[in-house]
């Protein structure tokens, strides 16, 4: 975990320096603001990972001498299949089309999104599909 964190932190540091140089030199705000938030977008998860990496030992995937057995066991539940991504996608599609073809398309759009949200949560509660 530590290396992952460091990559983000180094990137953030680089962006931070670049942002400072650019903003003071150019006095142009649009780019300065975007670079500033870019810096934050690296430092924020980077420091979170770093904080975590200090609280846990190296995982099997961080250990160069790990054997395959050391990682055996439960990793996560992966769904076999689910209809809700499709429903949600179609809902988003209708909502975007509503921007162009009229707000009536919001009705099927929002209906699909709500169905996907409720169905997806219920599916998650059941522990996913097989």
Partner 1 sequence: MTTTAHDIQAEAHDHGHSHAEHHGPRGILNWLTTTDHKIIGLSYTITSVIMLVIGGALAEVIRGQLANPDGHLVTMAQYNQLFTMHGSIMIYLFAGPFAFGALANIIVPIQIGAPDMAFPRLNALSYWLYLTGAITMLLGFFVTGGAANFGWVGYAPLSDAIYSPGAGADLWIGGLMLTGFSAIFTGVNICATVFYLRAPGMTLFRMPIFTWNLLVVSILILLAFPVLTAGLIMLYSDRHLGTHIYTVVGGGSPVLWQHIFWFWGHPEVYILALPFFGMVTEIIPVFSKKPVFGYKGMVFATLTIAALSLGVWAHHMFTTGVVLLPFFSIMSLLIAVPTGIKIFNWIGSMWRGQIWFSAAMLFSIGFVVTFLIGGLTGIYLASPPLDFFTHDTYFIVAHFHSVVMALVLGGMAGLYYWGPKITGYMLNERIGKVQFWLLFIGTQVFTIPQYILGLQGMPRRMAIYPNDPQWQDLNTWSSVGAIMIGISTLLFVINIVVSWKKHPAGDNPWDGHTLEWFTTSPPPHHNFFRLPQIRSERPTWDHNHPDAKALAHGKDAH
The backbone region for 15, taken as left when phi is positive above 0, alpha when psi lies in -120 to 50, beta otherwise, is: alpha
Task: Name the residue nearer to partner 1 (CB basis): 90 or 106.
Answer: 90
**Please, what is the minimum distance in Å from the beta carbon of residue 16 to partner 1?**
11
Interacting positions 39-58 with partner 1 (CB under 8 A): 41-42, 49
Q: Which two tokens stand for residue 126?
A: 């059941």
Residue of 103, 77, 108 lying closest to 91 (CA atoms): 108
Residue 110, C-beta contacts closer than 8 angstroms, at least 6 positions apart: 91, 95
Residue 73, C-beta contacts closer than 8 angstroms, at least 6 positions apart: none
Site string for partner 1, 63-102 (x = CB under 8 A): xxxxxxxxxxxxxxxxxxxxxxxx-xxx-xx--xx-xxx-
- The residue to which tokens 């430092």 are assigned: 43
**Please, what is the minimum distance in Å from the beta carbon of residue 49 to partner 1?**
8
Query: What's the rounded Cα separation, in Å, for the pair 74 and 69?
Result: 12
**Please, what is the minimum distance in Å from the beta carbon of residue 13 to partner 1?**
10
Asked whether position 106 contacts partner 1 by CB under 8 A, the answer is no
Residues in touch with partner 1 (CB under 8 A): 1, 3-4, 7-8, 10-11, 14-15, 18, 21-22, 25-26, 28, 30-31, 34-35, 38, 41-42, 49, 60-86, 88-90, 92-93, 96-97, 99-101, 120, 130
């Amino acid at each position: 975990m530590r290396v992952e964190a460091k990559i983000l932190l180094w990137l953030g540091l680089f962006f931070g320096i670049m942002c400072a140089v650019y903003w003071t030199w150019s006095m142009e705000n649009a780019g300065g603001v975007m670079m500033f938030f870019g810096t934050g977008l690296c430092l924020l998860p980077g420091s979170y990972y770093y904080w975590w990496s200090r609280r846990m030992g190296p995982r099997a995937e961080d250990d160069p001498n790990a054997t395959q057995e050391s990682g055996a066991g439960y990793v996560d539940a992966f769904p076999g299949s689910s209809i809700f991504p499709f429903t949600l996608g179609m809902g988003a599609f209708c909502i975007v089309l509503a921007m162009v073809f009229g707000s009536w398309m919001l009705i099927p759009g929002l209906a699909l999104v709500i169905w996907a949200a409720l169905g997806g949560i219920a599916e998650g509660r059941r522990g996913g599909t097989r």
